[in-house]
Amino acid sequence: MLKDLDPLLHSQLRLGIMSLLISMDSAEFTYLKEKTNATAGNISVQLDKLAEANYIEIKKSFRGKRPLTTCSITKKGIKAFEEYVNALKEYIGK
């Protein structure tokens, strides 16, 4: 029987965010926005959903006088991502 796919990660944008963060210590909001080609509002909503699930951590600070939002994946997020990828492999028979 196939495993259920994590509905939180099954969203294209959230999966894209997690895919980027899995390979880096952290990423700035603007980087994630640029790489996913998402609007600021949409990516902000999706980051909040991932943070609520404790899949990512969001840090807000300032660079000079400008706000700076930095995101990093948590251990729970890494585990969820790995389980999602493994479930997908089952779906495609690998």
Q: What is the pLDDT of residues 38-87, one digit of tens each?
A: 999 999 999 999 999 999 999 999 999 999 999 999 999 999 999 999 99
Distances (CA, A) of 39 to 30, 33, 64: 10, 7, 24
27 within a domain of the structure (yes/no): yes
69 within a domain of the structure (yes/no): yes
4 within a domain of the structure (yes/no): no
- Which of helix, strand or coil describes residue 75? helix
Of 46, 44, 52, 40, give the one whose Cα is nearest residue 14.
46
Q: Which structural domain range is residue 65 located in?
A: 12-88
Order of strands, sheet of 56-63, starting from the edge strand that comes earlier in the sequence: 27-28, 66-73, 56-63
Spatial contact of 55 and 73, defined as CB atoms under 8 Å apart: yes
94 within a domain of the structure (yes/no): no
**Residue 4: per-residue pLDDT:** 85
SS3 track for 9-45:
CCCHHHHHHHHHHCCCCCEEHHHHHHHHCCCHHHHHH
28 within a domain of the structure (yes/no): yes
Of 53, 29, 52, 31, give the one whose Cα is nearest residue 41.
29
Total domains in the chain come to 1
Structure confidence by residue, pLDDT tens digits, 16-42: 999 999 999 999 999 999 999 999 999
**Residue 91: per-residue pLDDT:** 87
Model-level pTM? 0.91
Give me the CATH number covering residue 20.
Answer: 1.10.10.10
73 within a domain of the structure (yes/no): yes
32 within a domain of the structure (yes/no): yes
Judged against a pLDDT cut of 70, whether residue 94 lies above it is answered with no
